[in-house]
Structure formats: C-alpha cells, structure tokens
Structure 1
Amino acid sequence: MEKFSAKKCSLQILSKQHVMLHVTLTHRYLLLPVEENQGLVRIKVIQNGDVKQVLNVKLAIHNSDYSVPLALQQWEGKTVLLDIVFSENTSVLKSIEDYVCWELLQYSETFDTENREKFRPIYHHTPSYGWMNDPNGLFYNKGIWHLYYQYNPYGSQWENMTWGHATSENLVHWQHEGTPLLADALGMMFSGSAVVDHHNTAGFGEGAIVAFYTAAGDNQTQCIAFSNDEGKTFQKYSDNPIITAPIADFRDPHVFWNEDIQQWNLILAAGKEMFIYTSKNLKVWHFESSFGFGYDTDDEVWECPDLMKLPIKGTDRCAWLLICNINPGGPFGGSATKYFVGSFNGYEFNCESNLLKSKWMDYGKDHYAMVTFDNAPEHRRVGIAWMSNWEYANEVPTQQFRSANTVPRDLSLFVYDGETYVSSIPSEELLHMRKEIVDRPMPACELVIDITSQQADLEIVLQNHLKERVIMKYKPQHETFSFDRKHSGNVSFHSTFAKKIEAPTLGKITQLRIFIDKCSIEIFDAEGKMVMTNLVFPTESYDEMKLIGLATCTIYRLE
C-alpha cells in the first residue's frame, strides 16, 4: 500500500468548500477515508474534460472511521482529475487544506474485506462491505439463485445506489459477484426485478435475463437492461426509459409472466397506489389499472410491490397475493410489509378484505422490501426481505457493512376465521444448515420449541451473563406472541429501537422455529401463521435460555 499525498500532488484549493487534485492511474484503487458524522462530499471523476463518474462520500475531516475503494483501473490513461465539493453546511474548526483526508488517501493494489465486525451474521446474506438495502432482481436459473440488492460501495450509509450481485447454490451461502448496474445520466439505480425470458419475447436472446429498475434522477423513470451471461453483466436498453409518469414516487417495477393471459405483467409503486401494466415483449407496456385508493393512510409511501398466484392450504383453490412494502406506517413504527389477498384477471386486482383491515407479512420491527424470486423451481414462491427498519438503519452499530437480508421464506395462503392470510415458513434449504444438537444457544443456531400445552402461557428468555436479554411470550388463550428487546444489549443508538412488540398468532401454535444469528432473531410458527423478525445487538452472544411453561426445546448449531 502506497501513501498518497494530496499536498505533494498539488492540491488545488478553489474555495473553502471546493478543491481539485490529479490522481495517477498506476494502482488498482485509491482508498478514500470516511468519517460518518460528516456531510456528503460530491466527487466528480474527470478525464480529458469528460465526467466519468460522480459519487458522494463522507470524506474524513477530523478522523477516519474506515476507508472505501475508488477503482482506478476502470479508466484508461495516465491521470484523472478529482473535482471535490464539500457541502455548504459542513461545520469544522479547520481550513480545508488541513482536513485529514488529504493525508489518509492511499493508493493500493488490494482492498481488505476480511470480516472485522462482531455483529456480521454467520448465515445471512450481507455485502462484503458498504451499505445494502432492498433486495432486487431475484431470479433462479440453471441451478443458481441470483440476488441483487441496493448497494452503496462508497460508505456504510445510504447513498450512491447501484445494484450489487450475489449468487448461491443453496439459498444460504452467497458468493459476491460485483456491481453490474451502475448509475447513469438518468439517475441512480433504485429497486426493481429481473426475469428469465425463456422464449426471447424481448428479442435480446433466448433465455436472456431482463432486469427492470427505477432510474432515480430529477424524476423517477422505469428502465430495462439485459444480460446474455447469466446476469453477470448487463447492457442497458437504448430506448430507455420505457415507462414514465408525472408522479414523484414512481418506482420499483416487478415483472412476471402471467400464464392466465399469456402476457407479461408489471406492477409498480406510484405514490400510495400500485399501477398494473401488460406487455407482450417486455419493452412496450400498456397501463391497465391502479390499486390502492382508500387502502392507504396519510403517512404511508408504498414501495417494492410483488404480485403472485398462490395455493390456499387445505383446498384446491388459489388466490392472488399483492405484497406492499410501506414506509412509514408499520404496526410498530417505521417500515414494514403488508399485503392484500384477492383476485387478478391479468388487468385488474380486486382485494377480498375490508379496506380498513391491514394484514402484515411479518410483525417484527426489521422486515422490509420483501420480494420473491422469478423462475423458482417446482413453482415455489421464495421471498427474501431486507432485515432492518428505516427508522434507524443508517445508525445500527456496525461500520464495515450495514444491513443483512432475512433467511429465505416459502409463501402460500391459508384461511382463518373466514379470512385468507399468508403462510410464511423457512425455506427447506435451511434444514441443511443444521449440524449437531447442542445444550445451549450459540451465536448461530436454531431453536425448535415444541409446545405441549395450550392451557398456560409460555415464556422464552434468551440472555447472556451480563443479563442482556430478550423475552418472548406466547399466550394461547389470547392467541398472541410478543417480543421484548428493551434490555437486549446496545439499544442506545436510536430512541425507537428498544421496544416490545406483539403479534396475533391466528390460531394455536404447536411448534416454534427460532433462527438466531449474530445480530438477529427470526421467529416462525412452524405452520407459517406468525412470523417476527428483529435485530438485536448484545455485548456478548446469548448463551442461556429459560423456558417457563410446558414445552421442550431442541437446539441445532447452524453453519
């Protein structure tokens, strides 16, 4: 690693907020020091008068929290010019030439992504470094699960949205594959979906992967890109954007092939509604209808929709599920995932429930942006969600990375008390993570709790020797399950994190499956009627458990 001296490279000061400097292209990376509590700094990478890239980074002024890599070998030539503008509200007690970033910039041939975080999960998907939010473009093809995600490679807080990419053969262990979709003149890469075009309806090639995304510039527009190498690289469509509208919050297209009408459907979020479109070729889309009027509340913004036909357990019938991720407006504050069940004829969705009745896919604080994989085998509907909450996602106590995704869940429907609900169970692939049975909780484990009586309450306590603890209670007479993380460990980073939450169980629970990882606890009724996902940040892992009530527990170590 070679020290970079901005002062030796003639730091050109243009104002108290504006500098320029030349960077040689003799190394693979320039490491940028980040100080998270500072304002964003805009950096333009300029070569021969052309802007090659624009990024926003919180460059270190007083001290560095960590560094992020700016890849230099993507540009040909000898040098590039960095045009650097600090925000006007930057408040410091030193002159711009004395900022520590100029001494901490470094050339390097490598960038260290070795895990340095005590809270990095063992078996949940995370980015190797940087910020992640919504899962995007999920699809399965030729034995491989593909997961794209909203990604900031220049810091561990939201900014610079690109699509990161990971692949897996088993839905559990993920391989990082780079950042195949980057910002362009139309804007940053917001959320979307991807489909396998088996019959070449778009003309990009048989079996091409076609990605749909929102370009977030001055306005939000819908665009496509295609891949002929199994989603490793994409070429953006020359006639983008393909869908526009005079709506500020207009994003997150989700596309699927509808066998019933032999056409493609697209559903996207438009303010507090969902717009539905049809197409024969994935390029030209026809608006068909909207859904949502009267179903929203004043503070909600609708995002990340999904729409699918699912079987109803215990019957030979199917119904349609419309997933709607909202922020704010969750049942316990912040972001959450609600859903509607009804009928869909390919052109219009009709909800079967009372418009005032909200149904929540997960009653935890940390489940958002749930979407499902296209082309999953055996007609499965497998979903993954972002495991955080917009109330505090930028502030959780990690820095090398921020945010993980939930374990995968298989979706179906069931009927309880005359209403149709979503059943969400851990995907079968998670069974292969089970290793030996152990006698106490571990940093990565699954608790299988068999409840032997419905006459008395059950209390489950997980704790460590510091008495940091979470308390879970099942009340069969009230058909409720609660989770209290007020004393779970570090709860000081945000005022809304320490909370007790409660979910309806929609019937009796006979078995619970509880997935514990370094910073999360996901609780499933084994039949999928109740799910709850919550982050926790204990000083030390929970290694003690108390069961108060009539139940037995088997603990599996997971890896």
Structure 2
Amino acid sequence: MTTPTVLHCQYRPQHHYTADRNWLNDPNGLIYANGTYHLFYQHNPSGNEWGNMSWGHATSADLLHWDEQPVAIVCDEQEAIFSGSAVLDRNNTSGFGTPDNPPLVAIYTSAYSPASPLGGRQAQSLAYSTDDGASWTKYSGNPVADRGSAEFRDPKVFWYDGTAGNYWVMVAVEALDREVVLYKSADLKSWEYLSTFGPANATGGVWECPDLFELPVDDDPGTTKWVLVVNLNPGGIAGGSAGQYFLGTFDGVTFVSESTVTEGLQQDDSRMVEYGWLDWGRDYYAAVSFSNSPDGRRLMIGWMNNWQYGGVTPTSGWRGALTLVREVRLATRAGRVVLMQAAVDPFENGGATIYSEARRPLAAGTHWLPAEASGDVLRIDAEFEPGAAGEVGLLLRAGGAEQTVLAYDSATGVLSLDRTTCGNTDFHESFASVERVTVPLEDGRLRLRIFLDRCSVEVFAQDGAATITDQVFAAESSARLGLFADCDGAELISLAVVR
C-alpha cells in the first residue's frame, strides 16, 4: 500500500498497490535483489490518464507494504517506455557493473515517437542500475533487438541453464500476429532468434506481456512443466482484457504446448472454457512474475483493471491498482494439471478474527451476519456443502440496494460473482457484469478464500484452483456480509471473517 498524498478517495485500497498520484497500468520489471522486492509499472507521471509512459517504481521487504520511489525510467521526446522485465546480471555478462557489484538490467520496449529516426517502431532496449535500482542509465547502443515492427513488445528475460546451453532468453510478442517470439543472448546486448509460438487458443485480441517459467508438478522436483503466460486484449473469458496460460516443454529453443485446444487466428468462442485462464474475472491483466524470487517461489502480480473501462474508473487523483501478489504452483486436479494460486495474505500477521461460525445447517433464505462482522477490508474464509440447495453463497459489500453476490449453483457446478448491483456501475456501459467459472466440488465441499478491499473482490476457490478478480465501487456504508441458500439442504462447514 502507499500513503496517499492526493485528496481522499473512498476507493483507494488498503492492501493493493496504487501510485500516490496519476495513472498506473501494467506491472513490469519485477525483481527481488539484495533483500528488496522491486515493483516497476507503467505510469504517467503527469496525469490521470494513459500517456507519457514511463516506469514507476516501488519497493517492499514483504510484498505487502510498498514504498513509492522516484520514477525510474522516464519517457522523452524520442521514446515512450513500454513494458518489460528486469534481471540481476550476476556474472556481469553485460559489462554494465563489476563482478563485485553486478548490475540490475531492465529490458524494456522503446515505443519510438515520430521525432525519432525509428518513429513508429517498437524495439527492445536496455537500462541498467549499479545502485540497487535507485538510478538508471539507458544503454547507448539501444535498441538491442529490432524487427522493424510496430508491434514487437513486452520482453520477459530469464537465464536458461539446460541441455541447449547457458544464456539469456527473451520472450516477447508480435502483438497483432498473436505470436510469442523467443531470442537468446550471451550478454543482453546481442540477440539471436530462436523460435515462434502461436497463434493458439484465445486470439480474440492482441497478445501482450508474455512470461515463461518452469514449475514442479505436485511439488515433485523430478516432474516439471513449463508455463507460458500470454495476456490478451480484448478476447478474455469474461470480456475485454485477460490472461491465459499454456503448459508444455521448453528445450532452450522451442516451447511446445501440451494444452493447445485450438490453433490459428480464428478464435473458437465455443471452446473458450477449455483454455487455461489465469483468472475468470474482468480485472486481472498483464500478469507477470518476479525474477530471482527467494526460495524458488514463483510470484505473480497483475493490473487490477480492464481496458474496456480502465480509463474512466471513478477514482480521484489516482487511477489503477495492482492485485495482491500471488504465489503460483502446478497441481493435478481431476486428472489434469492446473495452475494453482494463493495470495500473499495481508492478514496473516496482524489480522484478527472478528467473527466465526462452526458447522451448522444453512436454511433457505438470507442470513445477515452481525454488525461486528461488517467491513470493506476483510478476508473471508468459508466452506460449504451445497447439497441440493440450488444456489448458496455470500452477499458481499451489502447496504441499501447495493450488494455483490458470490454464488455457487449446486446443479451446474458454476461459481459466479455478480457485480451488477455492487454500487457505482454507470461510469461505463460494460462494467456491470457477472463472472462465471465451473468449480468441481471436492468431497462434496466448496472452499472459498475472499479478499475484500475498498474497490475490489478477489476470490480463490478450492485452494486457488480457480480465481475471480473484480473491481467493485460500493458506497463506504455498504459493508454488511450475509449468507444465503435457495433451498434447505446446504450446510455451512465453517466461516471466519478476519480484519
């Protein structure tokens, strides 16, 4: 979180990062170095709308409490600074540092303006820091990777050690072609083409912000899969912006997908639910992972917004928030390997349980929790046995005519988040929506972990096998919680509300 320096806004979140002032969108340059997490992000230092794209910067020791730093890499008359990544060049392959003081190197997209000799192109460039990210110098030999393309962007770079060799790998996109393009380099300065992946699965919008990393399956280091993340806009499962992932192999040259459902540019909407989606809500986009995370953890964060309405959300002095950081892993569920996600919990140390219930029948109707269980910044842990009770679930951020409804349909197995009456929805015609995902019960039970913040709901179902992330702009007074069931027959196994 940040300490606001602009006028009070009821929607500024407590546990989600926002810039003190002005516009924020895609996270980029995520890295852990010398005990500090660095969060860079697309930022307009001069206004509350997209423009003047530069890299904003924040730092944290725990992924929860963020200190905003001066703007790291600033746009100029020649280029805007689009998304990318950062690495710790441990062996000083770039020559930007020394063996005793290896540099941080940012790999970003130069979006060249008409004032530049490369006007209209997007190419990959470098900046480096030898003072732990406090200051950055653009490389004099930029750009370092140029395809002569207007849509070549969003480089994610990592060090590869494998049978094909030892070198840096760049994963970027040709956005309009819906292709991921891979390159290699020994020194971050000279890049050699490796291969291309795509188009495949969701192609209803441009591809952006790719990522590629290896994870063990079911915590077995002897069995791994590579995860290729590709964000797209529009064409998401819930409408507008979204992130998808592919599982497969990578031999240092080529990524081969084992989870491709459809190939080519013609998207088959009838098969959308078969694709691997990072999130089934409207507001999880441009998600990428941190480099160099300690203990081998794979940590991701996304922009908590959607390009359909991101430029007009009703905040004051600032616009755009990031999600909670999520640790991701691979697990087998119902014979299928899926990406599991767990939020870094802002309530784990210091949160207090303000209300709890043990197992009891959940009768038909609405059951409001007592006033002491109310709040706009909460974690809610709930477990149900829906039985044959039709829809069961929770009413969130309720007050007057406002409520956000999280419901599970025991007949269809679908979990839905309905924000059509969440509060302020009329700032854009596409904001009011209902998000849905099929969630199989496990031993007849549904487990939910829900994080409420002042402008958002993040739902993790069945230990993060499915997630739904949505913004909600409710009145400050809309803070009640309730349980409901359509019919008798459901049971509440447990409930805990933490503030």
In the superposition, relative to structure 1, how do residues 302 and 391 fare at CA in structure 2: closer, same or farther (>3 Å)?
same
SS at structure 2 position matched to 1:412: strand
Deviations 1:146-201 (A, max 9, x none): 10000012111111101000001111111010101011354100000001111111
Measure the CA separation in 2 of the matches of 1:354 and 1:153.
Answer: 40
Q: Does 1:472 align with 2:376?
A: no
**What is the identity, as a one-letter code, of the residue corresponding to 1:443?**
D
2:470 is aligned, of 534, 543, 550, to 534
- 2:103 is aligned to 208
Please tell me whether the aligned partners of residues 506 and 529 of structure 1 are also in contact (alpha carbons under 8 angstroms): no
What is the alpha-carbon root mean square deviation over aligned residues? Answer: 1.8
2:139 is aligned, of 199, 222, 237, to 237
1:359 is aligned, of 232, 256, 276, to 276
In the superposition, relative to structure 1, how do residues 220 and 374 fare at CA in structure 2: closer, same or farther (>3 Å)?
same
SS at structure 1 position matched to 2:401: coil
Q: Does 1:554 align with 2:496?
A: yes
**What is the identity, as a one-letter code, of the residue corresponding to 1:126?**
T
Measure the CA separation in 2 of the matches of 1:352 and 1:195.
Answer: 28
Give how far 1:553 is off: 1.7
- 2:224 is aligned to 318
**What is the identity, as a one-letter code, of the residue corresponding to 2:375?**
M
Q: Does 1:113 align with 2:16?
A: no
SS at structure 2 position matched to 1:353: coil
Out of 449-458 and 340-349, give the one that drifted further. 449-458
Please tell me whether the aligned partners of residues 124 and 404 of structure 1 are also in contact (alpha carbons under 8 angstroms): yes
The 5 Å alignment of 1:264-275 reads 264-271=168-175, 272-275=178-181
Out of 519-528 and 228-237, give the one that drifted further. 519-528
Measure the CA separation in 2 of the matches of 1:229 and 1:279.
Answer: 24
Give how far 1:432 is off: 2.2
Deviations 1:373-420 (A, max 9, x none): 101010000000000000000011013100100001001112234432
Q: Does 1:224 align with 2:126?
A: yes
Q: Does 1:495 align with 2:426?
A: no
SS at structure 1 position matched to 2:256: strand
Please tell me whether the aligned partners of residues 242 and 284 of structure 1 are also in contact (alpha carbons under 8 angstroms): yes
Deviations 1:34-65 (A, max 9, x none): xxxxxxxxxxxxxxxxxxxxxxxxxxxxxxxx
Please tell me whether the aligned partners of residues 15 and 346 of structure 2 are also in contact (alpha carbons under 8 angstroms): no
SS at structure 1 position matched to 2:42: strand
2:44 is aligned, of 144, 149, 152, to 152
**What is the identity, as a one-letter code, of the residue corresponding to 2:450?**
I
**What is the identity, as a one-letter code, of the residue corresponding to 1:167?**
T
Measure the CA separation in 2 of the matches of 1:550 and 1:226.
Answer: 57
- 1:71 is aligned to none
**TM-score, normalization: structure 1?**
0.77
- 1:423 is aligned to 340
- 1:91 is aligned to none
Return the structure number with greater relative CO, CA threshold 8 A, min gap 6. Answer: 2
- 2:296 is aligned to 379
What's the % identity of the aligned pairs?
37
Unaligned 5+ runs, structure 2: 113-119, 263-273, 356-371, 485-489
- 1:253 is aligned to 155
**TM-score, normalization: structure 2?**
0.86
Give how far 1:450 is off: 2.1
SS at structure 1 position matched to 2:463: coil
- 2:374 is aligned to 441
- Structure with greater Cα Rg: 1
Measure the CA separation in 2 of the matches of 1:224 and 1:534.
Answer: 34
**What is the identity, as a one-letter code, of the residue corresponding to 2:217?**
I
Unaligned 5+ runs, structure 1: 1-111
Measure the CA separation in 1 of the matches of 2:316 and 2:455.
Answer: 14
Measure the CA separation in 2 of the matches of 1:493 and 1:373.
Answer: 33
Measure the CA separation in 2 of the matches of 1:232 and 1:285.
Answer: 27
- 1:30 is aligned to none
In the superposition, relative to structure 1, how do residues 208 and 545 fare at CA in structure 2: closer, same or farther (>3 Å)?
same
SS at structure 2 position matched to 1:323: strand
Q: Does 1:450 align with 2:383?
A: yes
- 1:277 is aligned to 183
Deviations 1:100-120 (A, max 9, x none): xxxxxxxxxxxx924521100
Please tell me whether the aligned partners of residues 127 and 137 of structure 2 are also in contact (alpha carbons under 8 angstroms): yes
**What is the identity, as a one-letter code, of the residue corresponding to 2:491?**
L
